[in-house]
Amino acid sequence: MENNKSSILIVDDTPKNLQVLGNTLKLKNYKVEFAINGFKALEWIEKQDFDLVLLDVMMPEMDGYEVCQKIRENNKHINLPIIFLTAKTDSESIVNGFKIGAQDYITKPFNTAELLVRVETQLELKSSREKLESVNKWLEDEVKKRTHEIEEANTKLESANKELTVLDQAKTDFLSIISNEMRTPLNGILGTLHILKDQVDSKDLVNLVSVLDDSVNKLEKFSSYALQVTSLKTKKVNLKKESLKLSSIIESCIIQLTGSIKKHKVRINSQIDDSTQIVGDHEMLVKAFSNIIENSLIRSEPESTIEIDCDNLGEKQLITISDKGEAFSDEIINQNFEVKNEETQSYDTVALDYNLVKLIIEAHDGKIELKNLVEGNSFTIHLNK
C-alpha cells in the first residue's frame, strides 16, 4: 500500500500523545490531522474524508464511545475504520467498543510496531473493501446495461415476430385466396376440355387438347397442393383424430383409384384385416395413402402387384406399401420427401405429392420412410394405434 495516499485523523485530549502518534505515522508517509476532543473530531470528519481514525476512549465532555456512535450515524462514514486507543483492558470495555462500531483497539501505552501493523491492516482491509464495492458496482451497472440491452432486443424480437406473424398470415390468406379463386376457372376449363375431347375429330387438335388438359390438371393439382401444404405448415388445419380401421382407409383409396388401377393394369394386394386400428383424420389419411398408391401405380410395370401390409410395433402400426417400380435415386431418398426451395427448380407433381404425404403423416405424430428393394421400392408409414 502507498501510505502517502492514506489520511489518518488522531483524536486525543493529551497533546503529548498527539505528538508521538503524529510523528510515528508521518515517518511512514501517512497524512495526519489532529483533534483534541470529540467535537473537533466530528467537525474534521464532516469537512474532510479520512481513511482511518485513531480514537482515544477516555476524553472529557464526549468520550470515544460517543464519538464513535455519532460517526456511525452518518451512512457516509459507516465503513470508516476506527481504532480505539484505550488504557482499559477489561473484556467489557473492549466488547463494548466493538459493538458500537470500532474495528480494532490498541492499549496504552502502545507499542509502535504493533500500532503500525494494526493501522496498515485496517487500511488494507478498507482498500480491499472499496475495490470489492467498486467491482460490485461495476457488475451491477453491467448487469443493468445487459438487462436493458436484452430487454431492447426482446422488444425488437417481439416486434419482428409480430410482423412475421402478420406476414405469415398474409401469405396464408393470399395462398388460400389464390388457390380457391384458381379452382373455379380451372374447373370450368377442365369441363370444357372434356367436352372438346369428345367433339374434335382432328388428330392434331386431339393432341393439342390433351396437352392443354394435362397442363390444366397439373395446375389444378398444384393449386390444391399449395393450399393444403400451407394449412399443414401453419397448423391451420383441424385434424379430426379418431380410432379408424386401416382396412377402411385402404378400401377408400382403392375406390378412388379404380380408373388409374385399370389404366395401368396393376393389381393391389392388401393384407390389412379389419382388426387393425390407427388413430387419425380419415380424410387426410386417405389423401396420404392415395398419393403413395397412385404414384406407385404410375411407376409400376403392367401386370405387377402393389403389396400393402402392416406390422405392430409397440404403440405404432407400421404400414408398408411395396411396388415393382424403378428404384429411386440416392438423391431422392436423401431428400427425405423434402421439396427444395430453389429459384431455378421446376417441381414435378410426384415430388409435391410425396412432400404433402410427409406433412400429413407428421401432423399425425408419425413418420414415413422410403427404401429401395432388390426389386422395386417400399414406403413404410409409422402411425399411432
Give the pLDDT of residue 188. 67
- Tens digit of pLDDT for each residue in 126-160? 999 989 989 999 999 999 999 999 999 998 888 88
Residue 241 DSSP class: -
Give the domains, in start order, of the chain with CATH numbers.
3-110 (3.40.50.2300), 156-233 (1.10.287), 242-384 (3.30.565.10)
List 104's β-bridge partners, or say none.
83
**Nearest 5°: phi and psi at 383?**
-135, 150
pLDDT(347) > 70: no
- Read off the pLDDT of residues 273-299 as tens digits, 9 standing for 90 and up: 889 999 999 999 999 999 999 989 988
> To the nearest whole number, what is the mean pLDDT of the chain?
84
Cell of 379: 414406403
Grid look-up 393439382 returns 221
pLDDT at 18 over 80: yes
Within 8 A by CB and 6+ apart from 315, the residues are 384, 385
C-alpha cell at 31: 497524512
DSSP string, 137-178: HHHHHHHHHHHHHHHHHHHHHHHHHHHHHHHHHHHHHHHHHH
Give pLDDT tens digits for 38-91. Answer: 999 999 999 999 999 999 999 998 999 999 999 999 988 988 999 999 887 788
Predicted TM-score (pTM) of this structure? 0.50
Give, in order, the Cα–Cα distances in Å from 57 to each of 77, 86, 216: 19, 6, 106
Residue pair 105/86 in contact (Cβ under 8 Å)? The answer is yes
